Chains A and B, each alone.
Chain A
Amino acid sequence: MGSAVESESLVKRYPKATTNAVDGVSFAVPAGEVFGLLGPNGAGKTTTVGMLTTRVRPTGGRATVGGVDVVTNPVDARRQFAVVPQRSNLDRSLSIRNNLLFHAAYHGVPAHDARRRADELLDQFGLLDRGDTKPDFFSGGQAQRVMIARALMHEPSVMFLDEPSTGLDPAARLFVWDRLRELTNRGVTLLLTTHDMHEAATLADRVGIMDHGRLLALDTPEALLHTLPGSATLELTTTALEPPAARELLAALTDLAPVERAEELPAVPDVSGAAQFRARLYLTGDAPSLVAPVATLLAERRIALRDIGLGSPTLEDVFIHLTGRALR
């Protein structure tokens, strides 16, 4: 069986633009996978998804969804997938239930099946008592739930979600994540775009990291983390240091046994507003065993330790490593 989504050297250049918004992106998503496209705003994620969902015409390359070519056969391709945008595009003239029912009708679902499915989905998404209201005064989280329910009305094999939990409160976010996990259990392929590395790491089986229209890396979150120089990190905060002292300290820290790289982090003043020095150490070995040597090293230099934290690297670190700048 072929891939659920396949992108081959997709290119999009908008008229009058000097660079490609999407610049030769290739990937394949096997059926049932959760695939995350991670990148900052403007990286080309939305344009890539726009091409896959027939709303943006590629300048070059080809793509299939559910085995159907999205450029040569957009009508048939649309039967294969559903789209859940970031901002509500619900039909404001229709009640929630009718939003679901008419979506099903557009996709040729028989009325009897559609009514049964709408009831099931409204129940599952905790919307049964809101079925007859119009979406006008729905919160972002509620609209998101309705849009996911609507997307499921025609039983798509692939679902595209744009920033599925941006702007949701923590409870709503967990609710959406739970529903999405249920979908993957049913075998639906999910392709989500996000600039939230936590979301990508939590939901996605594989993550593609995009920047400037290119796919920089593509792998499981674990494998991506392994590409980093260190697999564990140690962050420390001290009183403020003069630049020469800071440089000397970083050099000394780098000389410690399992430290692969030490970098200064942007300074954050403490509660009283006094300046502080912060550094992150990337380690090849264990972080806890390094705490004592670091403390000794600071004591020798009469530098007061304010805070120390052990951490494992995140996808954000992978992004910084790949692009040299922060995700947002």
Chain B
Amino acid sequence: MTALSESTAIRGGQARAFVAVLRRDIFVTRSEVLVFLAQVILQPLFLLFVFGKVLGSLGYTQRGYSDLLFPGLLALTSVITGMQTLAFPLVIEFGWTKEIEDRLLAPMATSLVAAEKVLFAMLRSIVATLVMIPIGIVVLGDIPWRWAGVPLLAAATLLGSLLGAALGLVMGTLVTPTRINVVFSLVFTPLLFTGCSQYPWPSLSRLRWFQVVTAANPMTYVSESMRGALVPAVPHIHPWICLLVMVGAISVLLAVGLRGFARRAVD
């Protein structure tokens, strides 16, 4: 009985430590909210502006292109933000500033420190994705919107953010600070352009090899489910397949990332 209540108290202590670490991250983000917004929004904003607005106005893209670009950019924002939020600081904290040590020495399981990182990256990523909606309205004047698609949109946002965070955890724990620049350019750019955010996947059947390449990028399934939610008339991969692949990719990435984190945290 005593042992039981003791172990409950210890779990309670771990929950408190977890909340405190999350509160720290939110506190820091709040104090630099403009930097946060600039960091996560500029890239999709410019993509949206140039591909959705400028090229359309000049007549280089067909009418309706911005409708299929917009859901793609929501997907891009959710995945990339989650990844960036987690990977960059983690590489630096582990490899250089050692700032993470105070949290690793908090009375909580090491995996909970990693879990907090993932949860926080998800939160930032969801906020960034939601912010893209008013930005889309301002830049494009009109965005594709279906209330019936909101549940799928919400699921895709959640899973896209988690996918990005899991990817960030893998990169953040496997990359050393000296190699961060190389690895990020090698991973980041291909990820950005093979994730079907700028084109729907089924239309790639005319470019078979590229279709195969894009099928290997888990971001593709986030983009496709966003399109399934907002522009179902555009041919897209079936949402159930998307959800299934996302869940699978997340599971694998999280397992690898958590292992990597544990290895970095405890020698």
B3 proximal to A (CB < 8 A) = no
**A54→B110 CA distance, assembly (Å):** 10
A241 proximal to B (CB < 8 A) = no
Interface hub of A56, A79, A90, A107 (most chain B Cβ within 10 A): A107
Q: Using C-beta atoms within 8 Å of the partner chain, give the interface range for chain B.
A: 20 to 34
Binds A, one of B14-22, B156-164, B199-207: B14-22
Binds B, one of A81-89, A115-123, A195-203: A81-89
B107 touches A94 (CB 8 A): no
Binds B, one of A98-106, A225-233, A252-260, A290-298: A98-106
Residue of A nearest to B109 (CB): A75
A89 touches B267 (CB 8 A): no
A90 touches B17 (CB 8 A): no
A321 proximal to B (CB < 8 A) = no
Within 8 A of B (CB), among A51-95: 53-57, 74-76, 78-79, 82-83, 85, 87, 89-94
B244 proximal to A (CB < 8 A) = no
Query: Which of B20, B23, B107, B110 sits near A76, CB closer than 8 Å?
Result: B107
Q: Using C-beta atoms within 8 Å of the partner chain, give the interface range for chain A.
A: 20 to 34
Residue of A nearest to B20 (CB): A105
A89 touches B107 (CB 8 A): no
B24 touches A53 (CB 8 A): no
B266 proximal to A (CB < 8 A) = yes
Query: Which of B17, B31, B104 sits near A107, CB closer than 8 Å?
Result: B17
Chain A residues closer than 8 Å to B10, beta-carbon distance: 75-76
Residue of B nearest to A108 (CB): B16
B102 touches A106 (CB 8 A): yes
**A74→B265 CA distance, assembly (Å):** 13
Interface hub of A14, A50, A76 (most chain B Cβ within 10 A): A76
| Closest CB in chain A relative to B97 CB, distance in Å | 6
Residue of B nearest to A57 (CB): B266
**A87→B101 CA distance, assembly (Å):** 12
Chain A residues closer than 8 Å to B23, beta-carbon distance: 102, 105
| Closest CB in chain B relative to A286 CB, distance in Å | 51
| Closest CB in chain B relative to A106 CB, distance in Å | 4
Query: Which of B99, B105, B110, B267 sits near A90, CB closer than 8 Å?
Result: B99
Residue of B nearest to A105 (CB): B20
Chain A residues closer than 8 Å to B27, beta-carbon distance: 94, 98, 102
Chain B residues closer than 8 Å to A56, beta-carbon distance: 266-267
B267 touches A14 (CB 8 A): yes
**A98→B99 CA distance, assembly (Å):** 14
Complex interface bits, B23-54 against A, C-beta within 8 A gives 1, otherwise 0: 11001100100000000000000000000000
Given contacts A76-B10, A89-B101, A91-B102, contact A108 B266 (CB under 8 A): no
B266 touches A102 (CB 8 A): no
Query: Which of B16, B17, B266 sits near A55, CB closer than 8 Å?
Result: B266
| Closest CB in chain B relative to A311 CB, distance in Å | 40
A150 proximal to B (CB < 8 A) = yes
A103 touches B266 (CB 8 A): no
| Closest CB in chain B relative to A196 CB, distance in Å | 22
Interface hub of B28, B101, B105, B267 (most chain A Cβ within 10 A): B105
A108 touches B13 (CB 8 A): yes
B103 proximal to A (CB < 8 A) = yes
B266 touches A79 (CB 8 A): no
B108 proximal to A (CB < 8 A) = yes
List 28 A–B pairs whose Cβ atoms lie within 8 Å, in order of A's numbering: A53-B105, A54-B266, A55-B265, A55-B266, A55-B267, A56-B267, A57-B267, A74-B110, A75-B107, A76-B10, A76-B107, A78-B105, A87-B98, A89-B98, A89-B99, A91-B24, A92-B97, A92-B99, A93-B28, A94-B27, A102-B23, A105-B16, A105-B20, A106-B17, A106-B21, A106-B102, A106-B108, A150-B102
Given contacts A106-B103, A106-B106, 17 further A-B contacts (CB under 8 A): A50-B267, A54-B105, A54-B266, A55-B101, A56-B266, A74-B110, A78-B107, A83-B101, A85-B98, A89-B97, A89-B102, A91-B99, A93-B31, A98-B27, A102-B23, A105-B16, A108-B107
The 6 closest A-B pairs by CB, nearest first: A106-B106, A105-B20, A89-B98, A56-B267, A93-B28, A78-B107
